[in-house]
Structure 1
Amino acid sequence: MVPMGVRVRGLVVASHAGPTAVVTLLTLSLATGIEAGTLTTVLVTAAVLCGQLSVGWSNDWLDAARDARVGRSDKPTVVGVVGASELRTAAFVALAACVVLSYANGWVAGTLHVLAVASAWSYNVRLKSTVLSWLPYAVSFGLLPAFIVAAPDDGRVVAAWTVAAAALLGVGAHLANVLPDIEDDAATGVRGLPHRLGRRRVAVLAPLVLLAASVVILVGPSSSPGLPRIAFASLTVVMAVAAGVVGARWPRSRLPFGLSMGVAALCVVELVIVAPSVALPG
């Protein structure tokens, strides 16, 4: 019998807690930045949290057998802390809550977010093993700011550059996130875009895509970039170039992954800084 505390920690790990926390905090920051209102901000943030939990738990549920074959000891299902059936139940409960909370923000906003979550589920169910593995990340991340801006239902529309930057951020994060497990994934039949490109190309491409997101965030808003934005963008360039150089020269190093995730984190900070510019008058 697994102690309850251990089981709960297993559920947290299986939810992909890091990415879940980052996306949820980004949502909270953007909703606050556009002054969506207290109730809307709470509803939007809760909907995204539940959506992220459903995506993380469904990923580990659907990958349980594959993870066991390659001995992924970092996975709760492999070490026996949480069962695949428990993750399936948790995923569907979170998904149901996500749908209810999403539509509490209105039909338009709710549909945008449900589509984003459905896109993420499509990666877990099928697309992760195809050349289109990048597409759910582009769609889901791109729809996130659109959902946040639509939620207050005050006539404002999402800035096009925000959707583009978020989509690039999603694709770059996908490429970088695959790097540590690219051989294990390939050994179990996963043949997404990164696996087809190979470790060296992905180690170079991931930071470049994330750098493109940073550039869009820098030049997209109509306001002139202040010193903080320029500083973050400059640091992004340095880290992205370093990741690309190391990836090209030493593709098996873990440094490109760490640097790329650092670039992704900087892109998130840059988005938070320009949050008031995400929504435009209708």
Structure 2
Amino acid sequence: MDTTDRPPAPARAPGLPHVWAGLALSCHPGPAAAVTVLVAALAVASGPGTGRQVLVTAAVLTGQLSVGWCNDAYDALRDAEAGRRGKPVARGASDPGTVWAAAFAALALCVVLSIACGAAAGAAHLTGVVAAWAYNLRLKETPLSWLPYAIGFGSLPCLVALSLPGGPWPAWWAVAGGALLGVAAHLGDVLPDIEADLRAGVRGLPQRLGAARTRLLLPLPLAGATAVLVLGPPGAPGGPAVAVLGGVAVCAVVVTTVCAGPRRGGIWRKGALAGTVLVASADVALLLARGTGVA
């Protein structure tokens, strides 16, 4: 491989604190924390059992960590060539071997913790984690780039429901809502990097659609997920639920037309992804307020 034109990576600062700081920043801490907290809330609301709730939360956290570290380690060269200074591995602040080791260690822990939640629950969750790894290693460059996100997010209510005593199947609307939120998360996450990805030869679904069409598409899975989660559970939705549905629709339009405009940068750069997290948080809060379980 010709490396003569590659900009040299800055020297890494030695010392254990820098290793931990690099790992913390390489795991995609914002999305990992958001997903873990939302699933933990669902686990707590789904029924008693502190041990089960802790296991579910730990399984999701380790799975998210493994996916984030895998992503940054695998994409280190591509990120460096694209000048993504926010990636510790790409800028030389973290050693790729260390990040790979952390990814596999977290994956091993995720396997153990997922199976401890129950065979069916563990299988469902690990299916989502494997799909996420497949995205990192191959599928992100194909028209099926959205599929691992749909599988991964759809598997989370399956983990929560199947971990309950008796292993009840998750409600269809919980799985469908999770899958739609996953598709929205994919579109929102990729949106600010579409042009750089195309230059690097990455041609997933959003890259093939282009930034303008991806921005127009993003509100659909956001609003669709909220509609499913509002209208799917038994019983007519009350006034607050309808208000949330309308508010989410407005939020979806705002984050994709204002925050994620084609020339937005700085704190607005990840506006679409942040908006998607806000919508997901509102959806989960609505379920909790209604006392609706996912099984």
Q: TM-score, normalised by structure 1?
A: 0.92
Distance 1:142 1:256, change over 3 A: same
**Is 1:274 equivalent to 2:278 in the alignment?**
no
Q: Secondary structure at the match of 2:165?
A: coil
Is the contact made by 2:153 and 2:178 (CA closer than 8 Å) also made in structure 1? Answer: yes
Shift of 1:247: 8.8
13-22 or 225-234, which deviates more: 225-234
The answer for the alignment partner of 1:72 in structure 2 is 84
Is the contact made by 1:205 and 1:244 (CA closer than 8 Å) also made in structure 2? Answer: no
Is the contact made by 1:207 and 1:263 (CA closer than 8 Å) also made in structure 2? Answer: no
CA distance in 1, matches of 2:269, 2:30: 18
The answer for the alignment partner of 1:126 in structure 2 is 138
1:154 to 166, 171, 177: 166
Identity of aligned residues (%): 46
As a proportion of its length, which structure holds more helix?
A: 1
Is the contact made by 1:203 and 1:256 (CA closer than 8 Å) also made in structure 2? Answer: no
The answer for the alignment partner of 2:8 in structure 1 is none
**Is 1:231 equivalent to 2:243 in the alignment?**
yes
Q: Secondary structure at the match of 1:210?
A: helix
Aligned residues: 279
Is the contact made by 1:210 and 1:260 (CA closer than 8 Å) also made in structure 2? Answer: no
Q: Which runs of 5+ in 1 are unaligned?
A: none
**Is 1:220 equivalent to 2:236 in the alignment?**
no
CA distance in 1, matches of 2:115, 2:38: 20
| Letter paired with 1:270 | D
CA distance in 2, matches of 1:117, 1:18: 18
Distance 1:273 1:89, change over 3 A: same
Distance 1:238 1:127, change over 3 A: same
1:4 to 7, 12, 16: 16
Is the contact made by 1:149 and 1:157 (CA closer than 8 Å) also made in structure 2? Answer: yes
CA distance in 2, matches of 1:240, 1:256: 16
Query: 4+ residue runs of structure 1 moved beyond 6 angstroms?
Result: none
Q: Which runs of 5+ in 2 are unaligned?
A: 1-12
Cα distance per residue 1:170-191 (max 9 Å; x no partner): 0011001111111111111111
Aligned alpha-carbon RMSD (Å): 2.0
Please list, as runs of the form range in 1=range in 2, the aligned pairs for 1:173-192 lying within 5 A after superposition.
173-192=185-204
2:106 to 94, 100, 110: 94
Shift of 1:260: 5.6
Distance 1:260 1:104, change over 3 A: closer
Please list, as runs of the form range in 1=range in 2, the aligned pairs for 1:240-251 lying within 5 A after superposition.
240-246=252-258, 251=262
Q: TM-score, normalised by structure 2?
A: 0.88
Is the contact made by 2:184 and 2:221 (CA closer than 8 Å) also made in structure 1? Answer: yes
